[in-house]
Structures are given as C-alpha cells and as structure tokens.
Amino acid sequence: MTKRRRIVLWGAIVFLAWNILTFFVVHRPSSDQQVPSDLLKKLEGLQSEVQRQMNNNEALLRDLKKQKDLLNRYRNGNTGVQMDQGGRVNNSVRITHRLQSPAGDVVIPVLVIACNRPTVRRSLDLLVKHRPSEHQFPIIVSQDCGHQETSTVIKSYGDKIAHYIQQPDLSDIPVPPNHKRLQGYYKISRHYKWALNQVFNRLGYGSVLIVEDDLDIAPDFFDYFLSTLPLLQQDSSLWCVSAWNDNGKEHMTDTNRQDLLYRTDFFPGLGWMMLKNLWDELEPKWPASFWDDWMRHPDQRKDRACIRPEICRTSTFGRVGVSKGQYFDKHLKFIKLNTKPFDFTHTDLSYLLKDNYDRRFISEVYRSPQLTVKEVIANQHAEHNVVRVQYKTKEEFKGFAKQLGIMDDLKAGVPRAGYHGIVSFMFKGRRVHLSPPADWTQYDPSWS
C-alpha cells in the first residue's frame, strides 16, 4: 500500500471515529442508564489507535514534503552536493545557503572596448562563434580613438553587433607633467566611464560583461558568466565575476579541473561582469586614470570579492598597447586558455557563497601540512597532495612567490588571486597554499 493510500485510509478512520464520539456526546445516556463497559473499552482503544496513527500520518507527511523538496532541488540542479578537490563527494561540508535561479529571460550585454586595433576581428569572431544566443548576449562595441580601419572591421559585422557606439570626445586630457607619456591611461579611463554610462543609463541594462579588443575567449565563456550571475545578484560580499586567473599558467593550474572556481579579494579584470548597482556606486567617483588599480583600493573594494576560475576563460594576444608589452613576454603569453567546455549551467555553485566558501576553504588550507619553500621546491613529503607554505611579512611573501614562480606584486596589500591573504596554485603536480598565519584578520595596504 502506498503512503498516499495509507493516509487516505486512516483519514477515513479518523472521520468515522469522530462521528461515533460525536454521536455519544450528543446522545449521551441519562444518569440512570449505563454504558456497557466493553463498548467504553473499545472506544478508548480506538481513541488510542487513532492518536497513534495521526502521529504516524504527520511523520509520513513530513517525509513526503522532504522527498518533494529533494526532487525539486534535483530538477533545478541544486543538490547541495559539494565535491572536494579530488572530485569526491565531501560529506563534511554542509551547504547552508543556496542559489536561486535567475528570474525571467536573462540578458547580459557584452561590452567590447575597442580603439585602434583592426585585430578586434579576432575577438569578435570568437564572441559571435561561442555565444549561445544573440538575444541573450547582445554585443555592444564601443570604439575610442577614431581609427578608421578598426571602424571598418567593426561595421563589417552588421546586425551581429547589436550596438556600435563611438566615443565622441577624442581630445587630449590635461595631465600632470610627469604623466605626459601616460596620456593613454587617462583616455582609457574616460572611455570606460562613457561606455559604461551608455550601457547602463542610456540602453538600460542591469548587468554587463566587459571585454577588451585583444582577448580570446574559451568555448564555455558564456556558460560560465550566465551560471555565476546569480552569485553576483544574491551575495552582497561579491562585486564582480572574472574570467581571469593571474597565476593561470598551465603548470600552475590543475588542467583536469575545468569546474574549479574560487573567491578572490584581488580584482582580476580581463573579461569581467558587474551589475548596475555597482556602477551607480562607482560612477560618481570614477578616476581620471588607472581605473583597474583604483578598483583594487580598499575605498572601492570595501572587503568585497570576485569569483575567478582555476583555468582562465580569457587570454590576451595584445602585446602592443599603452602598457608597451609590460608583462606580456614574461607572463601573459603563457596563460592557459580553457579548451574543454564545462557545463556550469547544471552545476550547484552555492559553495561559492561567502558563508559556505569560507568555512570549507579556510579549513582546508590550515588543515594541510605546513612545509618550507625549500621542501616544496625539492618535492619532499610527496605523499601530501595539498600543502601550505606560511609567510609573515611582505618580504617573505615576495621572496616565496618568486621562488615558486607565481606573481609577487601586491595592490593595497592584496596578492594577485589571493583570498584572505591565501594564494592557491599548483606546483610540481600538487596543490600549494601560500598563506599568512591562521590568525590573519586583514590586509595591510602598505604592502605594495
């Protein structure tokens, strides 16, 4: 007999018993009449049985509700199952906060910041090729510089581009005497402010995905951002999602973990998503230059984090630009672009919500055995797949980072790809956490 039928049957018994009891109350015998003792015993027995079964029915209803909730979560791809870094189910982690699916027909415009690179065609070709829907991901190209050859390339895409807008102010910007050679950085900041105002205030979008004209994108680029949008909308401790890992060289990443995502206190840029409410906060104080480093200042970051991947979903081919190839030959050209698409859409990402993530990540880091830099470089204690190297000073961090081959610079005290001062990467096939002591509380902005 099914649970539903049992509930119906016992409901009928309860109904019958209630009517019998009501009859005896209404037609209660007079004082000189006696109720047979065997009938009283039967009624008392029936009352006990009804009460017991009512308790059982309540338990059955609770169980049915639980099964229904589990089924709904399964259908929505929100199972609360958390995997450890080995890809195994981690039963020790309890997901306490969950994600809600984005409501309605989600539209995320892609803003392409362009200037004088005809090679913007390479970026646009990949955006058009990999986007799942023109409606869901309309492309907006904003061009500065007035470069005719680049403009001709952009116009050749016709209606594949939803909006082609051009920065009207191409004038030089007054800069301090020692910044004359840095005029380009001022123009970039001015262009960003104008273009973002167009997206949010003129076109009326609620979010934006920003790329520049020298970026390649991974095949799962759009799926990654679509799936992480609810994180940005529901977790106020996040302010961006980025496609970039500053330590994303092939030998520094677990190339088998296309699914692995992190929180980071460092603003990565290079293919990133933000919401309109953040722009409303930033626009009135937008800087005259060096906007990306300005974003990394505590006054803007306000202890908020970004989401970043283990394996980059963008890579740059733009060696020539205002930075004169800074970092490109030494670092950027070695960044690994993901080539194996991962289905984030049907993956539970609630582990990235702050309360869920901090409990798991911090515990994992400080539970791992602590080794010295020399022991890690020599590959000692190879039986440990995850280890920790501890630093206490800025000098120690920079020295250890150089020896281990990761980015050693800090912005307002925050290391690239760092979270709570911890930088996680692969070294000789095992996970290494370069971390401060366990009693760490905050960044020191003087560490720069």
CATH of the domain at 140: 3.90.550.10
Q: Are the C-beta atoms of 305 and 421 separated by less than 8 Å? A: no
- Whether 60 and 198 map to the same domain: the answer is no
Asked, for residue 284, whether it belongs to a domain, the answer is yes
Closest CA to 347 of 164, 123, 94, 76: 76
The dihedrals phi and psi of 148, each to the nearest 5 degrees, come to -65, -45
Q: How many CA atoms lie within 13 A of 317 on its CB side?
A: 13
Per-residue model confidence as pLDDT tens digits over 131-162: 999 999 999 999 999 999 999 999 999 999 99
Per-residue confidence (pLDDT) for residue 88, from 0 to 100: 34
- Whether 190 and 330 map to the same domain: the answer is yes
Question: Per DSSP, what are the bridge partners of residue 112?
Answer: 141, 211
- Whether 128 and 47 map to the same domain: the answer is no
Asked, for residue 435, whether it belongs to a domain, the answer is no
The 3 state secondary structure assigned to the chain is CCHHHHHHHHHHHHHHHHHHHHHHHHCCCCCCCCCCHHHHHHHHHHHHHHHHHHHHHHHHHHHHHHHHHHHHHHHCCCCCCCECCCCCECCCCCCCCCCCCCCCCCCCCEEEEECCCCCHHHHHHHHHHHCCCCCCCCEEEEECCCCHHHHHHHHCCHHHCCEEEECCCCCCCCCCHHHHHHHHHHHHHHHHHHHHHHHHHHCCCCEEEEEECCEEECCCHHHHHHHHHHHHHHCCCEEEEECCCCCCEHHHCCCCCCCCEEEECCCCCCCEEEEHHHHHHHHHHCCCCCHHHHHCCHHHHCCCEEEEECCECEEECCCCCCCCCCCCCCCHHHECECCCCCCCCCCCCHHHCHHHHHHHHHHHHHHCCECCHHHHHCCCCCCCCEEEEECCCHHHHHHHHHHHCCCCCEECCEECCCECCEEEEEECCEEEEEECCCCCCCCCCCCC
Residue 3 pLDDT more than 70? no
Take residue 321 and report the two structure tokens written for it: 């630009």
What domain range is 35 assigned to?
A: 3-75
Per-residue confidence (pLDDT) for residue 328, from 0 to 100: 80
Residue 269 pLDDT more than 80? yes
Per-residue pLDDT averaged across 273-302, rounded?
98
Active-site pick, 292, 293, 358, 408: 292
Asked, for residue 152, whether it belongs to a domain, the answer is yes
- Whether 232 and 340 map to the same domain: the answer is yes
Residue 326 pLDDT more than 70? no
Residue 25 pLDDT more than 50? no
Per-residue confidence (pLDDT) for residue 331, from 0 to 100: 86
Asked, for residue 150, whether it belongs to a domain, the answer is yes
Asked which of 77-91, 101-115, 130-144 is least confident by mean pLDDT, the reply is 77-91
Q: What's the pTM?
A: 0.78
Asked, for residue 425, whether it belongs to a domain, the answer is no
Per-residue pLDDT averaged across 360-378, rounded?
98
Separation of alpha carbons 197 and 211, rounded Å: 16
Asked, for residue 213, whether it belongs to a domain, the answer is yes
Per-residue model confidence as pLDDT tens digits over 382-438: 999 999 999 999 999 999 999 999 999 999 999 999 999 999 999 999 999 999 999
Domain end point (choices 333, 352, 371): 352
- Whether 190 and 339 map to the same domain: the answer is yes
- Whether 30 and 165 map to the same domain: the answer is no
- Whether 127 and 221 map to the same domain: the answer is yes
Per-residue confidence (pLDDT) for residue 194, from 0 to 100: 98
Residue 169 pLDDT more than 60? yes
Closest CA to 133 of 28, 248, 222: 222
Per-residue confidence (pLDDT) for residue 58, from 0 to 100: 53
Per-residue confidence (pLDDT) for residue 400, from 0 to 100: 98
Identity of the highest mean pLDDT range in 68-72, 327-331, 375-379: 375-379
- Whether 49 and 153 map to the same domain: the answer is no
Asked, for residue 33, whether it belongs to a domain, the answer is yes
Domain end point (choices 59, 75, 91): 75
Residue 54 pLDDT more than 80? no
Asked, for residue 438, whether it belongs to a domain, the answer is no
Domain end point (choices 75, 100, 131): 75
Per-residue pLDDT averaged across 203-213, rounded?
98
- Whether 117 and 67 map to the same domain: the answer is no
Asked which of 19-23, 193-197, 202-206, 261-265 is least confident by mean pLDDT, the reply is 19-23
- Whether 191 and 330 map to the same domain: the answer is yes
Per-residue confidence (pLDDT) for residue 370, from 0 to 100: 98
The number of domains in the chain is 2
Per-residue model confidence as pLDDT tens digits over 180-205: 999 999 999 999 999 999 999 999 99
Rg (CA), the chain: 30
Closest CA to 368 of 353, 383, 351: 383
- Whether 44 and 125 map to the same domain: the answer is no
Taking CA 99 as the corner, what is the angle to CA 93 and CA 101, rounded to the nearest 5 degrees?
145
pLDDT-based confidence at residue 16 (cuts at 50, 70, 90): low
159 is catalytic: no
- Whether 166 and 269 map to the same domain: the answer is yes
Per-residue confidence (pLDDT) for residue 351, from 0 to 100: 98
